[in-house]
Amino acid sequence: MARYTGPKLKLSRRVGAPVVDTPKHTSKRALTYPGQHGFRGRRMRDYGIRLNEKQKLKFHYGTLEKQFRRYLDHAGSMPGNTGDMLLQLMERRLDNVIRRCGLARTVWASRQMVTHGNVFVNGRRTDRPSFSMSVGDVITFKPKAQKLAREAMDSLAGLEVPGWLELNPGEMQIKVLALPTTDQIPFDVNTNLIIEFYR
């Protein structure tokens, strides 16, 4: 299973935006271009702007290029705005749903929780982080994972759970109430530029 295993902070510095909502990624230094001399005021051309926007979305959801292209092709075949459908498909990933509810600090932590077999969807063990959630699906956790999830919840106190999800902290259970809309996604990205990049 392919995945990015390098330094995570470099991803935020590379695209100039926090791909993870943790202090390490949102500090002023995190948003400076990597390297000894940094960005030095260089102006990106049209191709670079579109590439940067695409990389930003990929890094935020922890996907690689081949998988990202499949999401884009799927979004293009769905009725509705391709950009909105792309965001909805990415947002419905199992590892992202766990991250959005604050049961893991980052998408990489939630991905590890899933691949280690600690997550159940509708009572069945699911070890695919890319599993697409549907309305009515219920996520539960093994006892060991519940302890880790509670620790993450404590460290992310005050995190607002999106309206399309319902979190039961007592039972450590997540229920999908509806499909996400673009205004419920707390990540700013221009999907039009991403679609233009592949044309």
Higher per-residue pLDDT: 12 or 168: 168
Question: Does residue 61 have a pLDDT over 70?
Answer: yes
Q: Is residue 3 part of a domain?
A: no
> For residue 32, what pLDDT band results from cuts at 50, 70 and 90?
confident
Q: Is residue 2 part of a domain?
A: no
70 and 118 part of one domain: no
Spatial separation of the C-alpha atoms in residues 61 and 85, rounded to whole Å: 15
**What is the bridge-based pairing of β-strands 124-125 and 138-141?**
unpaired
Per-residue pLDDT tens digits for 184-195: 988 889 999 999
Contact 82, 114 (CB under 8 A): no
13 and 79 part of one domain: yes
What's the pLDDT score for residue 24?
76
Question: Does residue 155 have a pLDDT over 90?
Answer: no
> What H or E segment, with its residue span, contains residue 145?
helix 143-155
Average pLDDT over residues 90-98: 95
Question: Does residue 179 have a pLDDT over 90?
Answer: yes
Which among 173, 172, 175 has a CA at the least distance from the CA of 164? 175
76 and 104 part of one domain: no
Q: Packing angle between helix 46-61 and helix 65-77, nearest 10 degrees?
A: 100
3-state secondary structure of 27: coil
What's the pLDDT score for residue 192?
94
**Which domain does 81 fall in, by range?**
9-89+188-197
14 and 73 part of one domain: yes
Q: Is residue 1 part of a domain?
A: no
What pTM was estimated for this model as a whole? 0.89
Tokens of 42: 């260089």
What's phi and psi for 17, nearest 5 deg? -150, 145
84 and 99 part of one domain: no
3-state secondary structure of 156: coil
Task: Residue 120: give its domain's CATH number.
Answer: 3.10.290.10
| C-beta neighbour count of 28 within 10 angstroms | 6
Higher per-residue pLDDT: 163 or 9: 163
Question: Does residue 174 have a pLDDT over 90?
Answer: yes
Percent of the chain exceeding pLDDT 90 equals: 60
174 and 192 part of one domain: no
Q: Is residue 154 part of a domain?
A: yes
Contact 96, 88 (CB under 8 A): no
- The total number of structural domains in the chain stands at 2
What's the pLDDT score for residue 39?
62
Contact 33, 13 (CB under 8 A): yes
What is the full DSSP assignment across 83-132? HHHHHHHHHTBHHHHHHHTTSSSSHHHHHHHHHTT-EEETTEE---TTPB
Task: Residue 19: give its domain's CATH number.
Answer: 1.10.1050.10
Spatial separation of the C-alpha atoms in residues 97 and 126, rounded to whole Å: 14
63 and 104 part of one domain: no
Q: Is residue 142 part of a domain?
A: yes
Average pLDDT over residues 122-144: 94
Average pLDDT over residues 120-125: 95
Question: Does residue 10 have a pLDDT over 70?
Answer: yes
Tokens of 28: 């002023």
Average pLDDT over residues 166-194: 92
